[in-house]
């Protein structure tokens, strides 16, 4: 609702009737019939969404075996700009994201996905957006989250934090691990050089984004990327982390799948995933 007000957007409440659904979902009876689902959506609209926000409700009447595919199909049908899904439990977004509907939506869809954790069952929590964290790694192919993050920050008068984490020799992961062991001095020198080029990269992005009324901060830190991103978000009291993902290749995101896995497990705030 915060975003809808700031952007002047229309909300569509969508429910997919699932074929052979479980009896309960997160302790609540599963909606199995169209009239139940429509009544539920109308109650959500009346009780949770202010009257000045345009809202549509839609129940997909044909029972679906693949809920994620149905969501993606409606993404194109309604021509909306953003999909919003909630997570449950104490494990950050990971309980919904990996091996689940949200992961499939990101993998198959083309629209950004906003994941909001629900900490207390039945509680309606405010979603303030005064600061947004945008981690970048300096590669042009991983910059798809810049525009949506900047547009949201501008519309909500939020500060946009650009963050780059350059690994230390000990923090290298994946294919770089063996390189660091075989050529420690050369790898360490390369990483040190990456700090300077990274600062220049962030400065260029900052200057480009500050052409309007957007306030942009930039930081470059050393360490293991995923842990440093989470620590930064916590210390700066970040309201939203925006991450670029390689949608059709699954969750192989801007550094690696392990980085995003750790972030969504350790970070308990809203995440914007941009395929």
For the chain, the structural domain boundaries read 2-118, 131-266
Which residue, chain included where needed, has tokens 């020799």? 169
Tell me the C-alpha to C-alpha distance, in Å, between residue 74 and each of 12, 15, 110. 10, 11, 12
Query: What's domain 2-118's superfamily in CATH?
Result: HUPs (3.40.50.620)
CATH topology of domain 131-266: Rossmann fold (3.40.50)
Q: Could you report the per-residue pLDDT of 123-148, keeping only the tens digit for each?
A: 555 678 999 999 998 888 779 999 99
Mean per-residue pLDDT, 218-239 = 93
pLDDT on residue 253? 42
Domain pair 2-118 / 131-266, same fold: yes
Query: Average pLDDT, whole number, for the chain?
Result: 79
CA-based nearest residue to 9, from 58, 55, 75: 55
Q: In 10 A of CB 145, how many CB atoms?
A: 24
Q: Could you report the per-residue pLDDT of 17-27, keeping only the tens digit for each?
A: 877 655 555 55
The verdict on pTM exceeding 0.85 is no
Give the residues across from 10 on adjacent strands: none
Alpha-carbon distance of 76 to 53, in angstroms, equals: 22
| pLDDT tier for residue 180 given thresholds of 50, 70 and 90 | low
């Amino acid at each position: 609702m915060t975003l809808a007000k700031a952007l002047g957007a229309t909300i569509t409440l969508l429910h997919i009737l699932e074929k052979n659904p479980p009896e309960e979902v997160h302790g609540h009876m599963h909606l199995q019939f169209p009239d139940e689902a429509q009544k539920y959506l109308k109650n959500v609209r009346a009780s949770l969404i202010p009257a000045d926000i345009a809202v549509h409700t839609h129940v997909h009447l044909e029972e679906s075996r693949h809920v994620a595919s149905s969501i993606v199909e409606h993404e194109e049908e309604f021509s909306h700009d953003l999909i919003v899904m909630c997570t449950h439990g104490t494990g950050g977004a990971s309980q919904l994201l990996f091996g689940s509907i949200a992961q499939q939506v990101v993998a198959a869809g083309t629209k950004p996905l906003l994941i909001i954790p629900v900490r207390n069952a039945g509680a309606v929590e405010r979603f303030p957006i005064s600061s947004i964290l945008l981690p970048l790694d300096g590669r042009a192919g991983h910059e798809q989250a810049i525009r949506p993050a900047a547009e949201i920050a501008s519309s909500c008068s939020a500060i946009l934090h650009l963050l780059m984490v350059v690994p230390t020799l000990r923090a290298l992961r994946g294919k770089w691990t063996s390189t660091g062991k075989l050529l420690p001095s050369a790898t360490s020198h390369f990483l040190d050089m990456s700090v300077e080029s990274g600062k220049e990269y962030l400065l260029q992005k900052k200057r480009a984004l500050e052409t309007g009324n957007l306030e942009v901060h930039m930081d470059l830190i050393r360490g293991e990327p995923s842990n440093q991103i989470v620590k930064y978000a916590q210390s700066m009291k970040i309201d939203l982390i925006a991450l670029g993902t390689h949608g059709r290749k699954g969750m192989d995101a801007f550094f690696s799948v392990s980085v995003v896995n750790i972030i969504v497990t350790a970070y308990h705030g809203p995440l914007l995933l941009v395929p």
